[in-house]
């Protein structure tokens, strides 16, 4: 049997408080694994899906990993090439951790690796974004780009995919809590107002700029003052039970900042080191556990590698 190749694409935290749709960072875990191998049957096929509870389609045109990989093969003029793909979901759906983005990234990365890397990693970004777009209808890279490239990524323009990795200070560590409650991305988008007051616009711009400067200068104080979302978080917090209690618990344990991961319901906190992050994670988890809400805690430095061949 042709062993093929296996790729891991990590989960991500998008928005990062003050960077709605333009900031995201990668975690070391969880993530998705995609296997691709050559087949004697022409065309791309999805032959196996695990960990998806039957929620993912095998249809290439409706599956984020398959769609992204197919667009790449079209670009390379290799659509008749026989390739079998397996998708192994190792992360929760609807968690606000970029599940569909990880699948799309894994799909294009696996096919590119199988074909001996005809494209550089960064050149895979447009195809992965197209793959995620069929899942949530939006053309944005704040999950896809960090899952592919790793690190903390700034997307200056989603339309142009003008993306840039930011400098990260040593020690920065994430605590991410995923409560087992369902929030659909479309519902999380629906609660958002189309207008922002001038006062809030100025405050949010200041926080975003402050966060970037804080990262480049390794100024944890400035990072902490800047990790504040005055626009999106107040509108979405009501969708997540006990959000403010969890945030307060994280800050009391020394977190630099705490906010919603992506569209939620996951909540992330950033800390200056792993020890603080562990205490922050325990405090966040305690709130949900005492409320009788099942949850998963992920502790991770910011993943600098992004998607990798295993």
Backbone angles phi, psi at 202, to 5 degrees: -65, -45
Considering just the CA atoms, what is the radius of gyration of the chain in Å?
Answer: 19
Question: Both tokens of residue 265?
Answer: 């319901």
Q: Is 185 a catalytic residue?
A: yes
Among the listed residues 47, 78, 123, 185, the single catalytic one is 185
- The three-state secondary structure class of 22 is coil
Residues in CB range of 188: below 8 A, 6 or more apart: 236, 239, 263, 264
Place of tokens 């694994």: 33
The H-or-E segment that residue 225 falls in is: helix 220-226
Closest CA to 272 of 253, 291, 287: 253
* Nearest of 260, 287, 258, 254 to residue 273 by alpha carbon: 254
- 182 in active site: no
Q: Which of 33, 86, 113, 132 is catalytic?
A: 132
Q: Which residues are catalytic?
A: 132, 185
């Amino acid at each position: 049997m042709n062993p093929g190749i296996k790729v891991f694409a990590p989960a991500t935290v998008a928005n990062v408080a003050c960077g709605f749709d333009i900031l995201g960072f990668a975690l070391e875990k969880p993530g998705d694994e995609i296997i691709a191998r050559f087949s004697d049957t022409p065309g791309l096929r999805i032959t196996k899906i695990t960990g998806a509870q039957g929620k993912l389609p095998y249809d290439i045109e409706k599956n984020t990993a398959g769609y992204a990989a197919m667009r790449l093969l079209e670009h390379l003029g290799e659509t008749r090439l026989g390739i079998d793909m397996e998708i192994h979901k190792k992360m929760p759906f609807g968690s606000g951790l970029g599940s569909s983005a990880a699948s799309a990234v894994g799909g294009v990365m696996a096919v590119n690796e199988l074909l001996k890397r005809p494209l550089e990693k960064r050149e895979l970004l447009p195809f992965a974004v197209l793959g995620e777009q069929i899942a949530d209808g939006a053309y944005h890279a704040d999950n896809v780009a960090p899952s592919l490239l790793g690190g903390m990524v700034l997307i200056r323009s989603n339309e142009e995919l003008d993306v840039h990795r930011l400098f990260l200070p040593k020690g920065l560590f994430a605590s991410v809590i995923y409560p087992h409650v369902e929030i659909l991305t479309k519902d999380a988008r629906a609660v958002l107002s189309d207008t922002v007051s001038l006062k809030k616009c100025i405050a949010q711009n200041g926080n975003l700029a402050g966060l970037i400067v804080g990262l480049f200068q390794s100024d944890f104080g400035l990072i902490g003052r800047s990790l504040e979302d005055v626009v999106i978080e107040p509108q979405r917090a009501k969708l997540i039970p006990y959000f403010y209690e969890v945030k307060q618990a994280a800050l009391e344990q020394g977190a630099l900042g705490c906010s919603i991961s992506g569209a939620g319901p996951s909540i992330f906190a950033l800390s200056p080191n792993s020890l603080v992050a562990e205490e922050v994670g325990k405090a966040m988890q305690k709130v949900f556990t005492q409320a009788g809400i099942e949850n998963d805690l992920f502790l991770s430095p910011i993943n600098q590698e992004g998607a990798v061949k295993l």
